[in-house]
């Protein structure tokens, strides 16, 4: 079983009577735990998820290590930096979502992402009601 954090915008205030409901952004489900993709792809994973500062920071650290460290230390340092990226990736993604106005609104436990969406619909129908 996996934990998924649910990030959603607060509901918008209702419009005047007779007007259509204001549109809201769909919730985002972020799995908890280690990211193998961020470990393997490093700065590319961060850039793909629009975490520009994290991508730049990891890239600068890897290039600095390649330029300054001798070969035996370089391999170990690169592995440690990429492991650190894998452990921190999802937390950085959650922080980005919070900065964009999608704070954490709950947690869903499920085997897969599809099951997590189903359980979110059961637990919090107010969050998935406005999905297209």
CB contact at 8 A, 121 and 129: no
Residue 28 CA, distance from chain mean position: 8
Q: What are phi and psi of 7, to 5 degrees?
A: -120, 120
pLDDT in tens, 109-130: 999 999 999 999 999 888 877 6
Q: What are phi and psi of 8, to 5 degrees?
A: -145, 150
Find the distance separating the first CA and the last CA of the chain, reported in whole Å. 28
Predicted pLDDT of residue 59: 96
Q: What are phi and psi of 125, to 5 degrees?
A: -65, -20
How far apart CA 16 and CA 71 sit, in angstroms, is 67
Average pLDDT (72-88) is 95
pLDDT in tens, 37-54: 999 999 999 999 999 999
Q: How many CA atoms lie within 13 A of 51 on its CB side?
A: 24
Nearest to 34 by CA among 76, 2, 69: 2
How far apart CA 48 and CA 94 sit, in angstroms, is 15
Domains of the chain by residue range = 2-128
pLDDT in tens, 90-100: 999 999 999 99
More confident residue, 25 or 70: 70
29: left (phi over 0), alpha (psi -120 to 50) or beta: beta
pLDDT category of residue 16 using cuts at 50, 70 and 90: confident
Average pLDDT (26-32) is 92
Predicted pLDDT of residue 17: 74
Q: What is the pTM of this model?
A: 0.84
């Amino acid at each position: 079983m996996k934990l998924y954090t649910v990030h959603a915008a607060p509901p918008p205030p209702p419009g005047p009577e007779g007007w259509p409901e204001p549109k809201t952004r769909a919730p985002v489900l972020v799995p908890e735990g280690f990211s193998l993709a961020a470990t393997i792809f490093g700065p590319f994973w961060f850039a793909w998820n629009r975490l520009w500062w994290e991508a730049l920071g990891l890239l600068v650290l890897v290039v600095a290590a390649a330029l300054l460290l001798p070969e035996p230390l370089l391999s170990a340092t690169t592995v440690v930096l990429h492991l650190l990226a894998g452990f921190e990736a999802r937390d950085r993604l959650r922080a980005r979502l919070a900065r964009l106005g999608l704070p954490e609104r709950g947690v869903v436990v499920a085997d897969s992402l599809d099951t997590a969406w189903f359980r979110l619909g059961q637990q919090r129908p107010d969050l998935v009601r406005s999905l297209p």
